[in-house]
Copies of this chain bind each other. A is one copy, B any other.
């Protein structure tokens, strides 16, 4: 999808009706990006915009390196498979992951199926419990307790969201910390926040974001990083991880008055807000690295499904300004499951004192 979008960019020319360049520190570099304007240009809005006001950057050539999460995730899964074989040969044990699904949500069922498939592909034994929508909290807790006690299960995953009659915190807190491969236990988060402490597990999606930076050789130390969004499962732990790697981190959120200005100061941006195309080209510092966690469906009559998936970042605009960017889909998405497998392997190694 994104190679075709990128292809179309280089052929497309835009009429620059308003040159929106603010006098920021980065403005001169911004203006240095090559701008191609055809005298025969026709008025054309950005695919990210509802107005016809088009940013200068949009006319520039695509320049950002595409951070290919799908390929990286594949490599990581192969590395994990190799490690699991080694472990099996040496100890006779393979890691086990238990997934608990409550209710009939189709999206949740798809996620669970994908996780199961991913487990099988690397040699992790998967255990699955599917409970009816109207099950009691007690029933879920009973399964968690039995998985807590089962030495063949190294990781326990409760698929969210749970039915509204259940107390999510109670249920998540019941997973023993040694098997909390999601890394959502507050004790894990606390250790992540603290210097000289080590979390047992790092939450999968933010871990995947940092892994992408590492695998693409993006140095983090001393860099300015902006995390957009402060959710417990992505934004907040992503900020803590960047901080652990010595970035200077700012967190932008719904109450931030000037998100564009602050984001434009960042060498590294991780966006996790769930707002399609919110981060426009004008938010991006030239040469920065963009990790887009958002996976947002937008209507698309041309798609057989009636929608397509886009990120939080207007890829078409940002890819002309950033030095590297993750596509959506195919960026952070595949990394999340890879990190879940990695956490499960780590749990199994720890439980079996295998290094």
A residues within 8 Å of B by Cβ?
Answer: 169, 185-197, 221-222, 224, 230-232, 236, 240, 243, 246-253, 255-257, 262
Contacts and interface: CB of A to CB of B under 8 A. Distances in A.
B195 A231 contact: yes
Given A247-B255, A248-B255, A248-B256, 5 more contacts: A169-B196, A169-B197, A185-B190, A246-B255, A248-B250
Contact of A187 (B169, B187, B232, B246): B187
Nearest to A262: B248
Contact of A222 (B195, B232, B257): B257
Contacts of A186: 187, 190-191, 193-194, 197
6 contacts: A186-B197, A187-B190, A189-B190, A190-B193, A195-B230, A195-B231
Nearest to A248: B256
Nearest to A189: B190
A232 B195 contact: yes
B243 A251 contact: yes
Contacts of A188: 190
Contacts of A240: 193
A237 to B, nearest CB: 8
A166 to B, nearest CB: 15
B187 A236 contact: no
A133 to B, nearest CB: 23
A342 B195 CA distance: 26
Nearest to A232: B194
A231 B197 CA distance: 12
A192 B232 CA distance: 11
Determine which residue in A187, A196, A248 has the highest number of CB atoms from chain B within 10 A of its CB, and name it.
A248
A64 to B, nearest CB: 23
Determine which residue in A169, A197, A255 has the highest number of CB atoms from chain B within 10 A of its CB, and name it.
A255
A332 B256 CA distance: 27
Contacts of A257: 222, 224, 248
A123 B99 CA distance: 52
A251 B253 contact: no
Nearest to A194: B232
Contacts of A224: 257, 262
Contacts of A196: 169, 232
Contacts of A232: 194-197
A236 B189 CA distance: 13
A256 B193 contact: no
B256 A252 contact: no
A251 B248 contact: yes
8 closest Cβ pairs, A-B complex: A190-B190, A186-B190, A189-B190, A250-B250, A246-B255, A248-B256, A187-B187, A186-B191
A221 B257 CA distance: 10
A199 to B, nearest CB: 9
A27 to B, nearest CB: 13
